[in-house]
Structure 1
Amino acid sequence: MTLNLLVAPDFAPENFPGWYMLATLLQHRSGTRLHLLMPADAREQAQMLGDGLADLVYANPFDATAMIRGQGYQAFARPAAHSNEMVIATAAGSPVSVVEELRPGCRIAVTDNRDVRLIGLRLLEPADLTERDIQWVPANSHQAAARMTLSGQVDAGFFLASAYHALARITRGQLKVLVESKLRDISHVLLAHPRVGDDLQPLAAALLAVDPSRPGDAEVLQALGLPAGFEAMEREDAEFMIDLMDTLLD
């Protein structure tokens, strides 16, 4: 049997080869063939999902919430010790040094990551800024958001924390972090479509058995940017995360 695994487009591009390494490893250990779907952006992801192409999805928490509630997807794993934190940063030379100094009308670069925007808006509450107070400047990647921030096109950028810390050192050296979230309970999630059924069990077992202490496995996990591997996600864990996402939306 072949299962299509869709990987969220907000995953850092430099870690894409790790997914191919992981797919090869899981195929060998589970006997289940995997075909990777790597959408370039949220629009292409929505098209693939709308066409029913994805059996498995590595989804950001916002999309995961909708897919679990609306389409019956089952959460079965998530990255271990790797929550979805986000960073608000500005250029190092900016006069803004804390979020409270951002004013209505400020321009903020943001990628098409609803979870990052939701968390960022919570972090902007000390500045009394709402979504309508901000001029949003779309960025097609976190690297593009960094370039806009450094060039002065925007006053600040919203970044997935893992993507921010993966930026080149010289780039990060020219940026200044205003705030970084510490939510810890929101993460990307691996989901299975209901049609996968019992075929999920051997694949999930193989995934959860990928061991960071084994040299070969560790190499794959490092390539993914998920050095601690994966842990099981139970239904109650998914429901708790969904409740947190609802809180961010309120």
Structure 2
Amino acid sequence: MKLNLLIAPDFAPERFAGWHMLNTLLQKRADLHIHLETPASAQEQSEQIANKNIEIIYANPFDAATMIREQGYRAVARPKGKADEMVIATKAEGQYKNLEDVKSGAKVAMADNRDVKLIGLRLLEAVDLTESDLSWHTTETYQAAAREVIKGDADVGFFLSEVYHSLSRLTLSQLHVLIESDLSDITHVVLVKEDFAESQKFVDALLALTDSNDGKEVLQELGITDGFEAMSEEDGEFMIDLMDTLLD
């Protein structure tokens, strides 16, 4: 039986090969036939989940909360010590030097990543800005958002921290960080369909990656050097509560 593993489209481009390496290793370790799905956008992710039987998803926390509540998934694992942080950045030679310089009417460029937007809005509460105070432009990728900021087509960009710090040296030299979050308890999550009968074989293989050299090599490629840890149903509920707090 062929299974589908879908990876949320917000990883840094240089991690692409690492996900394929992970898929190959998990197939061998769990003795499962797993097909890797790597949608290019949030829209494509939604379409694939709607049109295919996706048994396993590596989801961002906002999407994971919805998938657990409404789509029959449960959380089984998360990366150790790898929180989802975000960066608000502007043009290096632009008018904004500090977060306080961002005013109502500013244009924000960002990829379609709702948890990054929620965290960013929480950070902007410190300068009395809300979602309706800002103009929003959704780009295909974070790299495209960076280009808009550098060209002056957007005042600031919202970025997943890992992706921001993976941008080219030239790109980073043209950007200036206004603030970076430090929440530490919001992470991507590995979800499995409730009716996925062989889920424990998959989870066991995933959690054991740190026990072998080839597993450690794959984790290094993914930037998840400490591996994955198991999640309980209570952990999943706690994560949902955190996302609800960000939404309130």
The two structures have a TM-score, normalised by structure 1, of 0.95
2:26 is aligned with what amino acid? L
User: What RMSD, in angstroms, separates the aligned Cα atoms of the two structures?
Assistant: 1.2
Q: Distance in 2 between matches of 1:214 and 1:182?
A: 31
Query: Who is 1:234 aligned against?
Result: 232
Map residues 198-213 of structure 1 onto 2, 5 A cutoff: 199-211=198-210
Query: Who is 1:96 aligned against?
Result: 96
2:155 is aligned with what amino acid? D
Q: Distance in 2 between matches of 1:249 and 1:228?
A: 30
Q: Distance in 2 between matches of 1:224 and 1:78?
A: 13
1:74 aligns with 2:82: no
Instruction: List runs of 5+ in structure 1 lacking aligned partners.
Output: none
Give the drift of 1:53.
2.2
Q: Give the SS at the match of 1:149.
A: helix
Q: Give the SS at the match of 1:97.
A: coil
Instruction: Between 155-164 and 169-178, report the one with greater CA deviation.
Output: 169-178
Q: Distance in 2 between matches of 1:169 and 1:81?
A: 25
Q: Distance in 2 between matches of 1:60 and 1:189?
A: 6
2:159 is aligned with what amino acid? F
Deviations 1:143-180 (A, max 9, x none): 11111111111111000001011111222122111111
2:23 is aligned with what amino acid? A
Q: Give the SS at the match of 1:177.
A: strand
Query: Who is 2:55 aligned against?
Result: 55
2:201 is aligned with what amino acid? P
How many residues are paired up?
248
Instruction: List runs of 5+ in structure 2 lacking aligned partners.
Output: none
Q: 1:224 aligns with which of 210, 222, 242?
A: 222
Runs of 4+ in structure 1 over 3 Å off: none
Q: Give the SS at the match of 1:96.
A: coil
Q: Distance in 1 between matches of 2:52 and 2:215?
A: 31
The two structures have a TM-score, normalised by structure 2, of 0.96
1:42 aligns with 2:52: no
Q: Distance in 2 between matches of 1:110 and 1:64?
A: 20
1:190 is aligned with what amino acid? V
Give the drift of 1:216.
2.1
Q: Give the SS at the match of 1:246.
A: helix
1:233 is aligned with what amino acid? M
Give the drift of 1:23.
1.0
Deviations 1:119-164 (A, max 9, x none): 1001111221111111112211111111111111111100000101
Map residues 113-132 of structure 1 onto 2, 5 A cutoff: 113-132=113-132
Query: Who is 1:176 aligned against?
Result: 176
Map residues 178-193 of structure 1 onto 2, 5 A cutoff: 178-193=178-193
Q: Distance in 1 between matches of 2:173 and 2:231?
A: 36
Q: Distance in 1 between matches of 2:178 and 2:69?
A: 34
1:210 is aligned with what amino acid? L
Give the drift of 1:52.
4.0
- Between the two proteins, what is the percent identity of the paired residues? 54
Give the drift of 1:103.
0.7
Q: Distance in 2 between matches of 1:53 and 1:109?
A: 33
Q: Distance in 2 between matches of 1:144 and 1:65?
A: 27
